[in-house]
Amino acid sequence: MIFAERAALARDVADLTDEQWATPSLCAGLSVREVLAHLTAGASDNPVIWFAGVLRNRFDFDANVAQRMAKRLGDDPADTLRRFRAVATSRTKAPVPVVAMLGESIVHAEDIRRPSGLRREYPGEALARLARFYSGSDLMVPSASRARGLRLRATDGDFTTGSGPEVAGTTLALVMALTGRDAYLPELSGDGLAEFAAR
């Protein structure tokens, strides 16, 4: 699933203009091009290299991410895309669960696609897997904390979790909102939405 998502994203961004590459993504502070370079870094650095970077940056994880991303940015957008294509089937990753890499592949793809005017129908199985992961874990982002005490329900699939006031929407909108993308909150509804959004 990760390989398929990387390949689909590479196809989708192939015809972006220079202006689109420079557009702010949904990932705060990063352009569309920079998010793609971040994805390349995630598929390039094994645990040893990743941890060495953490040590080099004195456990400043944001600095480590920025340094790794800058290394994969390349000379221009075409070079950035070439580098991403080169790792499309890479199994290399930081010391995180494989499902977290699937999350990177889909969430960051949406960070790129949405402001670029691109759309993708993601496989339902992949989205449901991510919804279960993010609603039950604070490992990557405080997503489980956002979901606590609420009932999340997908309107386009079988995913439901939790109990309490309801937050309903497409599985994609739930995943993106769980990972802090406020742009998807208008696509959700329910008596738990105000609390969910406040988190």
pLDDT digits (tens, 9 = 90+) for 13-27: 999 999 999 999 999
Longest Cα–Cα distance of the chain, Å, equals 50
pLDDT digits (tens, 9 = 90+) for 44-77: 876 666 566 555 756 656 656 666 777 778 899 9
Structural domain of residue 155, as residue ranges?
Answer: 124-198
Backbone angles phi, psi at 166, to 5 degrees: -90, 145
Domain boundary among 64, 98, 116: 116
Whether residues 104 and 146 fall in one domain: no
Q: Of 167, 165, 159, whose CA–CA distance to 189 is shortest? A: 167
Sorted by sequence, the CB contacts under 8 Å of residue 149 that are 6+ apart come out as 162, 163, 164, 165, 195
Mean pLDDT of the chain: 91
Give the gyration radius of the chain's Cα atoms: 17
Residue 143's pLDDT is 97
Whether residues 144 and 107 fall in one domain: no
Mean pLDDT of 136-146: 94
Q: What residue ranges in the chain does DSSP mark as E strands? A: 151-154, 160-161, 166-169
Residue 55's pLDDT is 59
Whether residues 5 and 46 fall in one domain: yes
Instruction: State the Cα–Cα distance between residues 180 and 27, nearest whole angstrom.
Output: 9
pLDDT above 90 as % of the chain: 79
pLDDT digits (tens, 9 = 90+) for 164-181: 999 999 999 999 999 999
Whether residues 70 and 93 fall in one domain: yes
Instruction: State the Cα–Cα distance between residues 91 and 179, nearest whole angstrom.
Output: 23
Residue 60's pLDDT is 59
Domain boundary among 80, 98, 116: 116
Q: What is the pTM of this model?
A: 0.90
Whether residues 24 and 99 fall in one domain: yes
Backbone angles phi, psi at 168, to 5 degrees: -125, 150
Bridge partners of residue 161, in order along the sequence: 152
